[in-house]
Amino acid sequence: MRSPGAGSACILRKNYLMLMENSLADRRHRLKSILGGSAGNMVEWYDWYVYSAFTLYFAPIFFPKGDQTAQLLNAAAVFAVGFLMRPIGAWIMGIYADRKGRKAGLTLSVTLMCLGSLMIAVTPGYDTIGTLAPVILVFARLLQGISVGGEYGASATYLSEMAGKSRRGFFSSFQYVTLISGQLLALGVLLILQLFMSEQEIETWGWRIPFFIGGILAVLVFYLRRGLAETQSYKNAQGTKEPRSSGMTLFVKYPREAFTVLALTAGGTLAFYAYTTYLQKFLVNTSGFSRETASQITAAALFVFMLLQPVAGSLSDRVGRKPLMVGFGILGVMFTYLIFSTLAGTSNPYTAFALCLGALVIVTGYTSINAVVKAEMFPAHIRALGVALPYALANTIFGGTAEYVALWLKQAGVEYGFFIYVTVMIGLSLIVYLRMKDTRDHSLIHED
């Protein structure tokens, strides 16, 4: 006959095993959702960055004959126009994700991105249909701008809400891991085409291949995202009596948070686009590297940069978000001008790689945690819009115009003015970082 103590021990052991099984199941569920959301984010950003990666090749197709800087300037203007739609996309789809769910927002955004990619892939050039070619290009980028505007808020919110409290910085950093991997995938396709095709073949028709790839991948992601689980934060918010998500509610009830997001994003997003999408053109147009070498340098630096994101995100879970952002601000102010001015005069690819990587290491203090910082500032019922809209406004004003401003200043003969501009904007954001609370310790994401 068993003693009462043995029976109690058996029950405790069963309860313990059950808790462990539930814990493992919960972790698997979180991991599956985070990986699923991240994979879709990668394809979204691949489609967005393919435009930038192949600008050097298709700019002559869509725009009248002229010098290289003039054609790049036209293509950069279209890149900036795409950013003009990002606040509209953030507003519309941020509200949609707050009202209908994060999953619904993610699914809609990838659909629009798919349409934009396929339109660019099949549009004839300027020599065939005249001014209609750049018009269609602009329209396709407008669709993609709406998509990316909604994607950031929905994915940042989804990843932050799906991650547990102690690992939120780590898991939310995968937004930029997938963002960068999308950019790397675009560059990888470029390098493969450069390896197997001649420059003339790529310029004539090969540049269309990556846009077709993006459209096909987006269709696959559409079905993947339809199977994602919804976050508990969104479900809990549906039972509250808080006002529905809207632009007016955001800026009337949460003006401090909204303008903080805009201000902290300004320097970070300008630095990110200066150090990534523009840097490839800078290596060709200023440093004098070939397009192939510039692509290789950029791809290698971005790969290391991608690996740094979860490391920095995990660090923020231990020491807080604020120290990383302040570190980016200080180092960005100190070294941006020096990095660009030195890079302009180097002809050694290894030196160029080291300088590019140095810039990306600095901006990691912003990129690795900016998504979770913004998500932690807003309550669930308006979180997707609060993350997306102020961020998109800052991206349109500063990130989307980075290439255009840089090329315009170069054409005007004062290229160094761009280095000063980036430095000043990082400095202004640094002031915000120093004054704001650490969101890790004051998070409004209450679910664990």
Domain residue ranges in the chain: 35-237+244-435
pLDDT at site 70:
64
Query: At which residue do the structure tokens 């991206």 appear?
Result: 395
Q: How far, CA to CA in Å, does 116 sit from each of 43, 180, 225, 245, 433?
A: 13, 20, 19, 27, 36
Instruction: Name the pLDDT band for 18 (thresholds 50, 70, 90).
Output: very low
Judged against a pLDDT cut of 70, whether residue 10 lies above it is answered with no
Judged against a pLDDT cut of 80, whether residue 180 lies above it is answered with yes
pLDDT at site 67:
56
pLDDT at site 316:
94
Q: How far, CA to CA in Å, does 37 sit from each of 94, 139, 211?
A: 16, 27, 22
Q: Is the dihedral of CA 14, 19, 23, 26 positive or negative?
A: positive
Q: What is the pLDDT of residues 373-429, one digit of tens each?
A: 999 999 989 999 999 999 989 988 898 788 889 989 988 889 899 999 999 999 999
pLDDT mean over 253-279: 92
Other beta carbons less than 10 A from residue 304's beta carbon = 14
Judged against a pLDDT cut of 60, whether residue 172 lies above it is answered with yes
**How far is residue 433's CA from residue 110's CA, in Å, rounded to a whole number?**
32
Portion of the chain with pLDDT greater than 90, in percent: 34
Instruction: Name the pLDDT band for 351 (thresholds 50, 70, 90).
Output: very high
Helices (H) and strands (E) in the chain, counts: 22, 0
pLDDT mean over 65-77: 66
pLDDT mean over 124-150: 84
Judged against a pLDDT cut of 90, whether residue 108 lies above it is answered with no
| Helical packing angle, 402-411 and 68-84, nearest 10° | 150
In terms of C-beta density within 10 A (0-12 exposed, 13-18 middle, 19 or more buried), how is residue 300 classed? Answer: middle
pTM of the model: 0.81
Q: What is the pLDDT of residues 190-209, one digit of tens each?
A: 889 988 888 888 888 888 99
Other beta carbons less than 10 A from residue 13's beta carbon = 10
Q: CA angle 270-271-277, nearest 5°?
A: 85
Among residues 378, 437, 328, the alpha carbon closest in space to that of 153 is found at 378
35-237+244-435 CATH fold: Growth Hormone; Chain: A; (1.20.1250)
pLDDT at site 382:
92
pLDDT averaged over the chain? 85
Among residues 360, 199, 201, the alpha carbon closest in space to that of 290 is found at 199
**How far is residue 286's CA from residue 288's CA, in Å, rounded to a whole number?**
5
Portion of the chain with pLDDT greater than 70, in percent: 89
Among residues 242, 267, 208, 217, the alpha carbon closest in space to that of 111 is found at 217
pLDDT mean over 232-247: 82
Among residues 324, 399, 409, 424, the alpha carbon closest in space to that of 368 is found at 324
pLDDT at site 20:
45
